[in-house]
Amino acid sequence: MNTEKMNNNGNWIMRLIVVAVCLQFSIFNFQSSTCSAQPKKSRVQQQQVQQQAQQKQQGNNSQGGMTQRMQLLYPTAVDMPEEVVWRRDIYRELDLNEEENAGLYDPVEPQGKRLNLFTYVFKLALNGYIPVYEYNLDGNEVLEASAKVDMKTILDNYHIFYEENDGKVKVDNSDIPSAEVKMYYLKECAYFDQANSSFHIKPIAFCPVMLREDDFGGEAAKYPLFWVKYSEVEPFLSRQTVKTSDYNDAAQMTMDDYFTRNKYKGKIYKTANRLGKTLAQIAGNDSTKYSDEQKRIEAELEAFRKNIFGDKEKQDSIDSLVNLDPKQLKAAKKSSGRQPKAKTEKVKNRRPSSGGSSGGSGAARVSVRRERH
């Protein structure tokens, strides 16, 4: 009996195993038939969704249009400390006709890998490597996501010819208005870093300005295009060079070094103030007052930079006293503390001689000799 029960149990187990295998095989065939029966259009849509998800993931892994690999190869400079004891925001106008700034204009059209600043930034923004920000009418920059502007909007607003294929915008080199961009607005920040007791001038953002003449040949009108945040374009500027001399073509430096070392030259047109006024608004129509305000601000910056550790002339005078010989130092202190005394004449009364007159009208002196008896 025990043997028969064991045989019956074994048969039931085998039957259950066979049923389970058949069931799994039928499910697999059903899934295979479902996949093979999926229309081609659905598969294409599914692939597109997967590609979009991958692109979105890559976008999350990047910052400001730069991949992590780009950030590792070209790390950005250390940002300005949030807590500083002194800082001042300055807005400058960089004229590319100035000798110090001419390297940003060269070459006007691309020559192989050599590009000028505007062409380089224009291509980076057009291909989505860096964002650009809207230029407000008041001239104040907003370097936040809410102020980002699409490059296609820039192209339409300033009538720059482009072609669009499959949602991708393309602009030929000859259509980039590089020759018309002859000026930049630059915002820089001068600050004192108390952590290492140093003075710095750091570029914050810049705006290319297009100069276009009207049909009547009048003065060229200024068209500020967009703001570029310097920290977002800085890794790319490390890969492009700028000429620094008209007499030596080998004298070059990277665009990043050019800005961080403050090799540019620009006149101040605005400073951060509580009233939010530009120098033109402060000076009115008085060009002399406008120039005086520019010189005053430049002098204030230079004076602060030189006198961070105190007045140098006073420090030199103290150092000269410290280096004196002890005897000389004692003599110097004695001479500085001594008060000059007024010279007084001493008049001595001389007694007149017994044999002469006193020089006056007095009676003659008579001497009497007494005799002894």
Task: Look at residue 84 in the predicted model and tell me its pLDDT.
Answer: 80
How far apart are alpha carbons 279 and 317 in whole angstroms?
39
Mean pLDDT of the 93-99 span: 95
- Going 88 to 89 to 91 to 97, the CA torsion angle's sign is positive
pLDDT at 307 over 90: no
The pLDDT of residue 178 is: 94
Percent of the chain with pLDDT over 70: 62
Name the token pair of 117: 């600043």
Q: What are phi and psi of 252, to 5 degrees?
A: -135, 160
Report the distance separating Cα 369 and Cα 373, nearest Å.
Answer: 13
Among the listed residues 310, 296, 290, 77, the one whose alpha carbon sits nearest the alpha carbon of residue 200: 77
3-class DSSP assignment, residue 118: helix
**What integer is the mean pLDDT of 113-122?**
95
> How much is the pTM?
0.66
pLDDT at residue 83 greater than cutoff 60:
yes
DSSP assignment of 135-148 equals: --TT-----SGGGB
Confidence of residue 21 (pLDDT cuts 50, 70, 90): low
Provide the 8-state DSSP code for 248.
Answer: -
Q: Name the nearest CA neighbour of 221 among 209, 212, 230.
A: 212
- Decide: 180 and 210 in contact? Cβ < 8 Å: yes
Dist. CA 306–CA 284, nearest whole Å: 32
Reply yes or no on whether the pLDDT at 74 is more than 70.
no
Q: Residue 194 is which amino acid?
A: Q
pLDDT value for 312: 60
pLDDT value at 142 more than 50:
yes
Averaged pLDDT of the chain: 78
What's the confidence (pLDDT) of residue 357? 44
Tokens of 314: 């006073």
Strand residues in 134-289 grouped as ranges (E): 163-165, 168-170, 181-193, 198-212, 221-224, 228-229, 241-243, 252-254, 267-271
Q: Which residues pair with 32 in a beta bridge?
A: none
Rounded to an integer, what distance in angstroms lies between the CA atom of residue 125 and that of residue 65?
9
Q: Which residue has the higher pLDDT, 42 or 228?
A: 228
Q: Pick from 227, 189, 230: which is nearest to 208 by CA?
A: 227
* Residue 347 confidence (pLDDT): 47
pLDDT, average across residues 185-197:
89
Give residue 132's pLDDT band: very low, low, confident or very high (50, 70, 90): very high
Instruction: Read off the pLDDT band of 259 (50, 70, 90).
Output: very high
CA 228 to chain centre: 12
pLDDT number for residue 34: 47
